[in-house]
Amino acid sequence: MNYSKRLLYTLLSLLFVSINLCSAQSPTSLIAQPYNSLELTTLRASFDTLNPVREAMIPATRVYQEEYMAEGISMQYNRDFALIRISLYDSGYTYKAYKHELPKNTKWGMTLDQVQKRTGLLDIDEVNIYVRRNVTEDDVTDFYFTDGKLDHIKITATIVSLENNLANVVKSSGARLLPDGKPREGNVVDGFGTMTWADGASMYKGQWS
């Protein structure tokens, strides 16, 4: 085996290991990570659908959203392109089932009692009687029960987790990976400058080299 083949084999092996490790990660560990972090990049690479079926900037909330219907997942990023919310789905009319690890080692179709044996006692949502909530310093996880069975999970970052991970988000500058940006000032090629997306719904200002 020549050097090039050995190098290719090594790289493919590392990629396979990375994908397996990321697939085994709980989605709560992805919250507040930057868009182009190794964890999120590897997760997306593990999807059968490499590109989101639907993506959009939501100007009113300054949120960038990606939806992978075939993978059973929707992800939302704030204006700094840190992951602020993950929505996971069991199979249904629009989404197929999310097949990677669920929070707290829960499984689709579990009853409330079965879920609480793994999560501990969950809070009752005052607005939606079908939702039970688990709150930690880093995230808020909502478990949705339709017909008494778990079929949807929504994980939202807290202010604390976003602040704790801000340095990594700024360093990674995930916003620069997205197309259709408009330069506003400075050097957005290899210097210091500002670029916006979706009429200012999101902005990156900083170093581009």
Residue with the larger pLDDT of the pair 45 and 2: 45
Residue 206 lies in a domain: no
- 79 in a domain, yes or no? yes
More confident residue, 163 or 73: 73
Distance CA 162, CA 142 (A): 18
pLDDT at site 178: 57
Residue 186 lies in a domain: no
Alpha-carbon gap, residue 204 to 24, rounded angstroms: 32
Q: What is the pLDDT of residue 26?
A: 83
Question: Is residue 72 in a domain?
Answer: yes
Residue 22: the pLDDT is 46
Give residue 91's identity as a one-letter amino acid code.
S
19-23, 142-146, 168-172, 192-196: least confidently modelled range: 19-23
d(CA 134, CA 95): 24
Residue 81 resides in a domain = yes
CA distance 74 to 54: 9
Does residue 29 form part of some domain? yes
Higher-confidence residue: 156 or 92? 156
By the 10 Å C-beta count (0-12 exposed, 13-18 middle, 19+ buried), 71 is classed as buried
* Residues in Cβ contact with 106 at an 8 Å cutoff, skipping those fewer than 6 apart: 114, 115, 118, 119, 143, 150, 153
CA 103, CA 114: separation in Å to the nearest integer?
13
Of 50-54, 124-128, 136-140, the poorest mean pLDDT is in 50-54
What one-letter code names the amino acid at 176?
R
Q: What is the pLDDT of residues 76-127, one digit of tens each?
A: 998 788 999 999 999 887 899 999 999 999 999 999 999 999 999 999 999 9
Does residue 207 form part of some domain? Answer: no
Sorted by sequence, the CB contacts under 8 Å of residue 144 that are 6+ apart come out as: 128, 130, 131, 150, 151, 152, 153, 154
DSSP-derived pairing of the beta strands 73-77 and 149-157: unpaired
**CA of 144: how far to CAs of 102, 151, 180, 191, 201, in Å?**
13, 6, 36, 46, 30
State the Cα–Cα distance between residues 142 and 122, nearest whole angstrom.
9
The parent domain of residue 26 ranges over 3-178
Indicate whether 201 belongs to any domain. Answer: no
pLDDT band (50, 70, 90) for residue 209: low
Domain count for the chain: 1
| 164-195 CB burial, b ≥16 within 10 A, e <16 | ebeeebeebbbbbebeebeeeeeebeeeebbb
Whole-prediction pTM = 0.73
